[in-house]
Amino acid sequence: MRIIKTKDYDDMSRKAAAIIAAQVVFKPDCVLGLATGSTPIGTYENLVKAYQNGDLDFSRVKSVNLDEYRGLPKENDQSYYYFMQDHLFRHVNIDPGNTYLPDGTDADSDKACREYEAIISGLGGQDLQLLGLGHNGHIGFNEPNDVFDKVTHCVDLTERTIEANKRFFASAEEVPRQAYTMGIGTIMQAKKILVVVSGKDKAQIVKDAFFGPVTPRVPASILQMHPDVTVVADADALSLV
């Protein structure tokens, strides 16, 4: 595991974008695993800038997102589909037919998850998977558990995650209670993994996840077992290590 310490959030965002840009330059038809949440927003902004400057071409890139809320239609501005359009896809020349997220509108969760897992394996897996880190160590929506869930599955969100996400909704009641998420196995099959982390509020979980024991109680700790993980974290997030 490589840890890159950055001055602050902006510095983290530029460095993370540079790593993703390098992946696209090296392999123009790569499969990017993408994340939502607040942390990667600056990373996407920098990728859009690089595209606008003529330095990046997404025309052959394929993308698979980590997760999607169950039951939110694409046009809902809190769906992860909407987030990706808003922060990246509509600003670059990626082919919309090459961008994939779990289908949150499919009420048949077994079918939706099976189909999504098949899409990812059909593409040959992720060349680079971008991840944020939840305060409880979740990656994707893989919450602390007794076991590491392997493949794409439907999860009940924890009270803590609902609480953390309610800032985006009119009230906590409107936050969906379930989501479809890549499993830990789906994430771990990526050839490279890039984790972005920022802020003092993430310092304790950075310490637990990357310097503590590997346990499904801290799902991100499994990343210690992956052969090619880069964590780009700002000084605040690394303040306890």
- Token digits for 180? 């479809």
Q: Write out the H or E segment, with its range, that includes residue 129.
A: strand 128-131
Give the Cα separation of 124 and 33 in Å (integer).
12
Residue 38 near ligand F6R by CB under 6 A = yes
- State which residue, 35 or 206, has the beta carbon closest to ligand F6R: 35
- State which residue, 23 or 129, has the beta carbon closest to ligand F6R: 129
Taking the complex as a whole, the smallest distance from the CB of residue 180 to ligand F6R amounts, in Å, to 11
Residue 138 near ligand F6R by CB under 6 A = yes
Q: Are 205 and 137 in contact (CB under 8 A)?
A: yes
Q: Write out the H or E segment, with its range, that includes residue 110.
A: helix 109-122
- Alpha carbons within 13 A on the beta-carbon side of 220: 31
If binding means CB under 6 A, how many residues of this protein chain bind ligand F6R? 14
- State which residue, 67 or 127, has the beta carbon closest to ligand F6R: 67
Residue 139 near ligand F6R by CB under 6 A = yes
Residue 140 near ligand F6R by CB under 6 A = yes
- For ligand F6R, the nearest residue by Cβ is 132
What value does the CA radius of gyration of the chain take, rounded to a whole number of Å?
17
Give the Cα separation of 182 and 193 in Å (integer).
14
- Alpha carbons within 13 A on the beta-carbon side of 102: 34
Point out the residues that are catalytic.
67, 136, 138, 143
Among 1, 4, 11, 37, binds ligand F6R (CB under 6 A): 37
Residue 66 near ligand F6R by CB under 6 A = yes
Per-residue string for binding with ligand F6R, 16-35, x by CB under 6 A? -------------------x
Give the Cα separation of 48 and 56 in Å (integer).
9
- State which residue, 38 or 93, has the beta carbon closest to ligand F6R: 38
Residue 132 near ligand F6R by CB under 6 A = yes
Amino acid at 128: L
Binding site for ligand F6R (CB under 6 A): 35-39, 66-67, 132-134, 138-141
